[in-house]
Structure 1
Amino acid sequence: MSDLVFYTNPMSRGRIVRWMLEEVGTPYETVVIDYGRMADADYRAVNPMAKVPTLRHGETTVTECAAICCYLAEAFPDAGLSPAPGTAERGAFLRWMFFGAGPVEAAVTNTSFGWAARTPQEEGRLGYGSTARVLDTLEALVAAGPYLMGERFSAADVYLGSQIAWGLQFGTMEARPGFQDYVARIMSRPAARAASAKDDALMPAKA
């Protein structure tokens, strides 16, 4: 039994955490939770939100993709996926991780449902302002590459990069050339390919 237990479903944001686990390179146990079982009492005792992914590391339980990615980067520093605390690089790392968890997640989700601010005053009440502003900020960020932290690949690329990749795949994000080039670059990593293969193998068989 591994000290790391990963609760997921291959058709979920758990794919982000799977990639992070593969980058860390530490053995872990996978527990697949069917969507029909997520509200069961035994799983709600693990994650009361009845959602995946969830990570258990010994006696520690972590939920939310960004938090899990940050936790793994700090718990396994030899993987080199997070800058040292108290540095300028660490500040940038946290900035973009939480930009992904806040403005990007909200803007892309709202846009996919057809929700948008109608006036500048309404934009001012939204944490992300407008989807166009979010995408412009992202485009400038990836253009400075090759990675979000410059020359260094980090957990921010796993988390925020996955959001960009999903946005392109499902058409919820404009297919700007900079996004496409960046996604092609990060998804060619061996850990990204290994994670995708493992999740694809868990997908339900097509009738």
Structure 2
Amino acid sequence: MLKLYHAPNTRSTSILALLEELGAADRVEVVNVTVAREDGSGAPDPQNPHPEGKVPYLTNGADYVHERGAIITYLTDMFPDAGMGRPVGHPQRGAFLSWLFYYQGVMEPVLVLDWAKLEHPAVHATFRDLDAVVARLADALDGQPYLLGQAYSAVDLLLSSPFHWLPDAAPKQPAVQDWIKRCAARPALKVIAEREAAQLG
């Protein structure tokens, strides 16, 4: 059986929302674990098999998956009927994977560096900056409501996720702001947000 190691109010919350969108929440065992948090609270949990004590971490028998982009690919391939992914052979498979890898390899590092107020020419040359990331999103959203076109997908879930947590960091471009609002209004996100608030309350 699939097993997801999760800590409330962390990056793995987006994977819970994905499971809701996939209609697969009842097919995955969720194991709540503790993690070390940025404010110094928490600690690695010995029952978490992630080698760095992080979440999310997904297991399927002896197999395992970590990193959100990889987990999203794994789950959307496993539950293709929900339409949240782009299966092998789909004409948007390459675009789907590219956005997931762009998030992991460029967008999240840029957001973290911007939040930490760290700058260096090598960082800019490698990842560009937040303005470049926002321009990329705005260009993709020109004339369409979601990153892959007319339909919401797992790439929208992932790439909009940091702006749900840090609304003050949300870009000012109207098209990007409207996209963030559309993504935030998804019923799955509201269900998970209410559930996590109850757990943490």
Q: What interval of TM-score do these two structures reach, taking the shorter chain for normalisation? A: 0.7 to 0.9
Q: Partner residue of 2:39?
A: none
Shift of residue 187, structure 1, vs aligned partner: 2.0
Shift of residue 40, structure 1, vs aligned partner: 4.1
Question: Contact (CA 8 Å) 2:96, 2:155: kept in 1 or not?
Answer: yes
- Secondary structure in 2 aligned to 1:42? coil
Q: Partner residue of 2:79?
A: 76
CA distance in 1, matches of 2:45, 2:34: 10
Q: Partner residue of 2:33?
A: 33
CA distance in 1, matches of 2:60, 2:43: 20
* TM-score normalised by structure 1 residue count: 0.84
Aligned length: 194
CA distance in 2, matches of 1:143, 1:164: 19
2:131 corresponds to 1:132: yes
CA distance in 2, matches of 1:49, 1:162: 22
CA distance in 1, matches of 2:35, 2:56: 12
1:49–1:164 Cα change, 3 Å: same
**Residue identity matched to 1:48:** P
2:9 corresponds to 1:8: no
- Secondary structure in 2 aligned to 1:149? coil
For 1:2-46, what per-residue CA distance to the aligned partner results, in whole angstroms no more than 9, with x for missing partners? x23221111210111111111111212222112367534432xx1
Pairing partner for 1:178 from 175, 180, 183 = 175
Q: Partner residue of 1:55?
A: 58
Residues 1-207 of structure 1: pairs in structure 2 closer than 5 A:
3-26=1-24, 27=26, 28-35=28-35, 39-43=44-48, 46-118=49-121, 123-124=124-125, 126=126, 128-167=127-166, 169=167, 171-203=168-200, 205=201
Q: Aligned-residue CA RMSD in angstroms? A: 2.1
Question: Contact (CA 8 Å) 1:14, 1:53: kept in 2 or not?
Answer: yes
CA distance in 2, matches of 1:8, 1:40: 11
**Residue identity matched to 1:163:** P
**Residue identity matched to 1:29:** E
Task: List runs of 5+ in structure 1 lacking aligned partners.
Answer: none
Question: Contact (CA 8 Å) 2:80, 2:87: kept in 1 or not?
Answer: no
